[in-house]
Amino acid sequence: MNDHNPSRRVFLRTAALGIAAVPLARFATYSGNAQAQDLPKAEDGHALDYVNDASEADHEKYQSGQKCESCAFWAGEEADGWGKCRHPEFTDVLVNAEGWCNTYAPRG
Residues in touch with ligand SF4 (CB under 6 A): 50, 68, 71, 73-74, 85, 87, 90, 95, 99-101, 103-104
Q: How far is the CB of 95 from ligand SF4 (least distance, A)?
A: 4
Provide, rounded to whole angstroms, the least separation between the CB of residue 12 and ligand SF4: 48
Closer by beta carbon to ligand SF4, 10 or else 56: 56
Residue from 101, 5, 15, 6 nearest 53 by CA: 101
Residue number, 2 or 98, with CB nearest to ligand SF4: 98
Least distance between ligand SF4 and beta carbon 51 (Å):
9
Starting at the edge strand found earlier in the chain, the sheet holding 95-96 runs 74-79, 82-85, 95-96
How buried is 100 (Cβ within 10 angstroms: 0-12 exposed, 13-18 middle, 19+ buried)?
buried
Q: Which is nearer to ligand SF4, 8 or 61 (CB)?
A: 61
Q: Where are the beta strands (DSSP E) in 1-108?
A: 74-79, 82-85, 95-96
Per DSSP, the three-state class of 80 is coil
Nearer to ligand SF4, 82 or 100 (CB): 100
